[in-house]
Structure 1
Amino acid sequence: MRTTKDRIRHTLGFELIGLAVLVTLISWLFDFNMHAIGPIAVFGSIIATIWNYFYNLLYDHFMLKRYGDVHKTLPMRVLHAFMFEGGLLILFLPMIAWYLSISLWQAFIMDITMAIFYLVHAFIYNWGYDKVFAIQKTSSQSKT
């Protein structure tokens, strides 16, 4: 399993790269000033950072208990990304509508756009991260 230091590096890299791309993309797509999108994106990033740490920790514990290993197959990565984004969608929708003074429908469309972006970002980032910072198999993982 990953160390706490590695999980923090993973989470911070994920959020910083995602935030930089997302603010630019959402400002352009929805014709909002970056100053309007920036604060809600940063707040969402903080929520996502905390969620990311605990979600991945729980997911890895589940994987280790269920399969004896934390390495994810392609279907596991897809499920992992969808479950993560679904949780954020539920948490973030009311905040977007309130902060930007838009309807829940408009906030939903914006939130879905962000979720789609982060689904793609999560898949690519996590796959790349696992390649660059590979998890070393332990002796108990090698036996399964």
Structure 2
Amino acid sequence: MKPIERVFHAVLFEALAITCSVIGLALFTDHQVSALSGTMIVVATIAMMWNYVFNWGFDRFVPGEKTERSIKTRIIHVLLFEAGLLFVTIPVMAILLNVSLWQAFLMDISVTIFITCYAFVYNFAYDHIRAYILRRRGVISLAADVETVG
């Protein structure tokens, strides 16, 4: 993927994730939607930067056709991404929502469990939809490596 597509991928991912996360946290906590929205926008901004850097590195470490990645590789990808993100976002959530680190951990781990499942589905769908669109445009053949295009 070219850098502009990586940015698109990350922004779309985060926009959908913020919406779902705010709704979930609003249902299960006493925090105002405005406070949760602001917090999740900050967390999403951190996540977008991490998404770009992490996926760039992961793609270098695990090259090849993304649609051919095994379930095991996809699970490892998501777990490593979310672990790195938790390290930064727990203290951020604690400060912004004025809660203890433990409360922030519980909230963040809940969001992370949701996002982990969401990320798996999102990336799987994105990779396959991207390959389909490129094939339909005639940019790649069925046997071509998608990465050679971008």
Match of 2:91 among 85, 94, 97: 94
Name the residue aligned to 1:80: 77
Maintained 8 Å contact 1:14/1:125: yes
CA positional deviation for 1:31: 2.4
Distance 1:17 1:10 in 2: 11
Q: TM-score, normalised to structure 1's length? A: 0.88
Is 1:10 the equivalent of 2:9?
A: yes
Identical amino acids, percent of aligned pairs: 32
- CA 125–91 in structure 1, closer or farther in 2 if over 3 Å, else same: same
Structure 1 residue 140, shift from structure 2 partner: 9.9
Aligned to 1:53: 52
Partner of 1:30: 29
User: Which has the larger displacement, 99-108 or 80-89?
Assistant: 99-108
Moved over 4 A (4+): none
Gap regions ≥5 residues in structure 2: 135-139
Change in Cα spacing, 1:30 to 1:61, as seen in structure 2 (3 Å) is same
TM superposition shift of 1:7: 1.1
Matched, 1:123 2:109: no
User: Would you say the 8 A contact 1:60–1:70 is kept in 2?
Assistant: no
> Structure 2 vs 1, CA of residues 117 and 139 (structure 1 numbering), >3 Å: closer, same or farther?
closer
Q: Which of 103, 109, 113 is residue 112 of structure 1 equivalent to?
A: 109
Question: Aligned-residue CA RMSD in angstroms?
Answer: 1.9
With over 3 angstroms needed to count, the CA separation of the structure-2 counterparts of 1:13 and 1:92, relative to structure 1, is same
